[in-house]
Amino acid sequence: MKGLNVNEIDETKESMLMGSKRINLNYYPKCPNPELTVGVGRHSDVSTLKVLLQDDIGGLYVRNTETMKWIHVPPISGSLVINVGDALQIMSNGKYKSVEHRVVANGSSNRVSVPIFVNPRPSDVIGPLPEVVQSGEKLVYKNVLYKDYVMHFFRKAHDGKATVEFAKASF
Protein backbone atom coordinates (compact mmCIF):
# COMPACT_ATOMS: atom_id res chain seq x y z
CA MET A 1 0.00 0.00 0.00
CA LYS A 2 2.98 2.32 0.60
CA GLY A 3 3.63 2.21 -3.15
CA LEU A 4 0.16 3.70 -3.61
CA ASN A 5 0.76 6.54 -1.10
CA VAL A 6 -1.64 4.84 1.33
CA ASN A 7 -0.25 5.10 4.85
CA GLU A 8 -3.40 4.46 6.82
CA ILE A 9 -6.10 1.88 6.26
CA ASP A 10 -9.37 3.14 7.75
CA GLU A 11 -12.63 1.19 7.87
CA THR A 12 -13.75 2.22 4.38
CA LYS A 13 -10.43 1.20 2.86
CA GLU A 14 -10.32 -2.00 4.83
CA SER A 15 -13.70 -2.93 3.38
CA MET A 16 -12.65 -2.06 -0.17
CA LEU A 17 -9.38 -3.97 0.09
CA MET A 18 -10.46 -7.03 2.06
CA GLY A 19 -14.09 -6.71 3.19
CA SER A 20 -15.13 -10.10 1.80
CA LYS A 21 -13.42 -13.41 1.14
CA ARG A 22 -14.34 -16.26 -1.17
CA ILE A 23 -12.92 -19.73 -1.45
CA ASN A 24 -13.12 -21.79 -4.65
CA LEU A 25 -12.73 -25.55 -4.75
CA ASN A 26 -11.39 -26.62 -8.13
CA TYR A 27 -11.03 -30.25 -9.12
CA TYR A 28 -9.09 -31.15 -12.24
CA PRO A 29 -9.39 -34.88 -12.96
CA LYS A 30 -6.33 -36.36 -14.61
CA CYS A 31 -6.67 -36.07 -18.32
CA PRO A 32 -5.03 -38.32 -20.93
CA ASN A 33 -4.87 -35.45 -23.46
CA PRO A 34 -4.49 -32.20 -21.51
CA GLU A 35 -3.76 -30.27 -24.70
CA LEU A 36 -7.24 -31.14 -26.01
CA THR A 37 -9.13 -29.77 -23.02
CA VAL A 38 -9.48 -26.59 -20.95
CA GLY A 39 -8.84 -26.72 -17.18
CA VAL A 40 -9.74 -23.09 -16.55
CA GLY A 41 -9.83 -20.67 -19.47
CA ARG A 42 -7.65 -17.56 -19.48
CA HIS A 43 -8.91 -14.84 -17.14
CA SER A 44 -7.87 -12.45 -14.40
CA ASP A 45 -9.43 -12.70 -10.96
CA VAL A 46 -11.96 -10.06 -9.88
CA SER A 47 -10.51 -9.94 -6.36
CA THR A 48 -8.04 -7.58 -4.72
CA LEU A 49 -5.60 -10.46 -4.16
CA LYS A 50 -5.73 -14.24 -4.52
CA VAL A 51 -3.73 -16.61 -2.34
CA LEU A 52 -3.19 -20.18 -3.52
CA LEU A 53 -1.35 -22.92 -1.66
CA GLN A 54 0.67 -24.91 -4.14
CA ASP A 55 1.08 -28.66 -4.42
CA ASP A 56 3.65 -30.55 -6.49
CA ILE A 57 1.39 -31.21 -9.47
CA GLY A 58 1.25 -27.91 -11.32
CA GLY A 59 -0.88 -26.72 -14.21
CA LEU A 60 -1.23 -22.98 -13.47
CA TYR A 61 0.12 -20.71 -16.22
CA VAL A 62 0.52 -16.92 -16.01
CA ARG A 63 0.90 -14.58 -18.96
CA ASN A 64 4.00 -12.42 -19.43
CA THR A 65 2.60 -9.03 -20.45
CA GLU A 66 5.64 -8.12 -22.56
CA THR A 67 6.16 -11.29 -24.59
CA MET A 68 2.53 -12.47 -24.18
CA LYS A 69 4.03 -15.94 -23.61
CA TRP A 70 2.57 -18.32 -21.04
CA ILE A 71 4.82 -19.21 -18.10
CA HIS A 72 4.21 -22.37 -16.11
CA VAL A 73 4.19 -21.53 -12.39
CA PRO A 74 6.66 -24.07 -10.98
CA PRO A 75 4.78 -26.31 -8.54
CA ILE A 76 6.67 -25.88 -5.27
CA SER A 77 4.70 -27.83 -2.69
CA GLY A 78 3.83 -25.72 0.36
CA SER A 79 4.53 -22.36 -1.31
CA LEU A 80 1.93 -19.64 -1.74
CA VAL A 81 1.14 -18.03 -5.08
CA ILE A 82 -0.25 -14.52 -4.62
CA ASN A 83 -1.99 -12.91 -7.59
CA VAL A 84 -3.04 -9.31 -8.03
CA GLY A 85 -6.70 -9.16 -9.09
CA ASP A 86 -8.79 -6.63 -11.04
CA ALA A 87 -10.07 -4.78 -7.95
CA LEU A 88 -6.49 -3.82 -7.04
CA GLN A 89 -5.77 -2.83 -10.64
CA ILE A 90 -8.78 -0.48 -10.51
CA MET A 91 -7.99 0.94 -7.05
CA SER A 92 -4.34 1.53 -8.02
CA ASN A 93 -5.47 3.30 -11.24
CA GLY A 94 -3.54 0.67 -13.23
CA LYS A 95 -0.26 0.81 -11.26
CA TYR A 96 -0.69 -2.79 -10.14
CA LYS A 97 -1.86 -5.11 -12.88
CA SER A 98 -4.03 -8.17 -12.41
CA VAL A 99 -2.35 -11.24 -13.84
CA GLU A 100 -3.90 -13.16 -16.72
CA HIS A 101 -3.80 -16.88 -16.00
CA ARG A 102 -5.21 -20.24 -17.06
CA VAL A 103 -5.07 -23.82 -15.86
CA VAL A 104 -4.17 -26.95 -17.79
CA ALA A 105 -5.16 -30.39 -16.50
CA ASN A 106 -2.46 -32.93 -15.69
CA GLY A 107 -1.82 -36.05 -17.77
CA SER A 108 -1.07 -38.34 -14.82
CA SER A 109 -2.54 -36.89 -11.58
CA ASN A 110 -5.78 -35.45 -10.31
CA ARG A 111 -5.36 -31.95 -8.92
CA VAL A 112 -7.37 -29.99 -6.37
CA SER A 113 -6.81 -26.28 -5.90
CA VAL A 114 -8.33 -24.10 -3.19
CA PRO A 115 -7.70 -20.43 -4.00
CA ILE A 116 -8.68 -17.85 -1.39
CA PHE A 117 -9.93 -14.58 -2.89
CA VAL A 118 -9.69 -11.40 -0.82
CA ASN A 119 -12.19 -8.89 -2.20
CA PRO A 120 -14.08 -5.66 -1.64
CA ARG A 121 -17.59 -6.09 -0.21
CA PRO A 122 -20.31 -6.45 -2.87
CA SER A 123 -21.86 -3.14 -1.70
CA ASP A 124 -18.56 -1.20 -1.98
CA VAL A 125 -18.08 1.32 -4.74
CA ILE A 126 -14.51 0.91 -5.93
CA GLY A 127 -12.41 3.22 -8.05
CA PRO A 128 -8.93 4.74 -8.08
CA LEU A 129 -7.94 5.54 -4.47
CA PRO A 130 -7.72 9.30 -3.70
CA GLU A 131 -4.10 8.86 -2.52
CA VAL A 132 -3.13 7.38 -5.89
CA VAL A 133 -4.58 10.18 -7.99
CA GLN A 134 -3.96 13.11 -5.61
CA SER A 135 -1.20 14.49 -7.82
CA GLY A 136 -3.73 14.97 -10.59
CA GLU A 137 -2.91 11.94 -12.74
CA LYS A 138 -5.48 10.96 -15.33
CA LEU A 139 -8.22 8.63 -14.09
CA VAL A 140 -7.86 5.36 -15.98
CA TYR A 141 -10.80 3.76 -14.15
CA LYS A 142 -14.17 5.04 -12.96
CA ASN A 143 -16.14 4.16 -9.82
CA VAL A 144 -18.10 0.91 -10.08
CA LEU A 145 -20.33 -0.96 -7.66
CA TYR A 146 -18.28 -4.07 -6.91
CA LYS A 147 -21.36 -6.32 -7.13
CA ASP A 148 -21.96 -5.07 -10.71
CA TYR A 149 -18.32 -5.77 -11.58
CA VAL A 150 -18.54 -9.36 -10.31
CA MET A 151 -21.85 -9.92 -12.11
CA HIS A 152 -20.28 -8.68 -15.33
CA PHE A 153 -17.44 -11.21 -14.89
CA PHE A 154 -19.78 -14.15 -14.30
CA ARG A 155 -22.21 -13.23 -17.10
CA LYS A 156 -19.66 -13.93 -19.84
CA ALA A 157 -17.19 -16.62 -20.79
CA HIS A 158 -13.62 -16.20 -19.55
CA ASP A 159 -11.90 -13.84 -21.95
CA GLY A 160 -8.46 -12.98 -20.68
CA LYS A 161 -8.03 -9.46 -19.36
CA ALA A 162 -11.20 -8.07 -20.96
CA THR A 163 -13.27 -7.84 -17.74
CA VAL A 164 -11.44 -4.79 -16.41
CA GLU A 165 -12.55 -2.78 -19.47
CA PHE A 166 -15.95 -2.62 -17.71
CA ALA A 167 -14.41 -0.14 -15.26
CA LYS A 168 -12.48 1.94 -17.83
CA ALA A 169 -13.06 5.68 -17.56
CA SER A 170 -14.62 6.99 -20.77
CA PHE A 171 -13.62 10.64 -20.57
Ligand X SMILES: O=C(O)CCC(=O)C(=O)O
Q: Which residues of this protein are in contact with ligand X, per CB under 6 A?
A: 24, 26, 40, 45, 52, 60, 101, 103, 113, 115
CA distance 91 to 6: 11
Q: Which is nearer to Fe ion, 31 or 46 (CB)?
A: 46
Shortest CA distance to 42 belongs to which of 28, 57, 62, 58? 62
Q: Which of 110, 115, 121, 114 is closest to 150 using CA atoms?
A: 121
Per partner kind, with CB cut-offs from 5 to 8 A, the member of ligand X, Fe ion, none near residue 42 is none
CB of 149 to Fe ion, least distance (A): 15
Distances from the Cα of 151 to the Cαs of 46, 77, 145, 148, in angstroms?
10, 33, 10, 5
Report the residue number, 60 or 87, with the smaller CB distance to ligand X: 60
Binding at 105: pick from ligand X, Fe ion, none (beta carbon under 5-8 Å per type): none
Bridge-partner residues for 27, per DSSP? 112
Nearer to ligand X, 114 or 125 (CB): 114
| Residue 45 in contact with Fe ion, rule: CB under 5 A | yes
Of 73, 56, 55, the closest CA to residue 64 belongs to: 73
* Nearest-approach distance from CB 45 to ligand X, in angstroms: 5
Q: Which does 143 bind (CB under 5 to 8 A by kind): ligand X, Fe ion, none?
A: none
Of ligand X, Fe ion, none, which one sits near residue 65, judging by CB under 5 to 8 A according to partner kind?
A: none
CA-CA distance, 132 to 170, in Å (whole number)?
19
Whichever of 55 and 131 has its CB closer to ligand X, that residue is 55
Q: Which of 41, 148, 138 is nearest to 94 (CA)?
A: 138
- Tell the smallest beta-carbon distance from residue 161 to Fe ion (Å): 12
Are residues 141 and 129 in contact, defined by beta-carbon separation less than 8 angstroms?
no
Binding site for Fe ion (CB under 5 A): 45
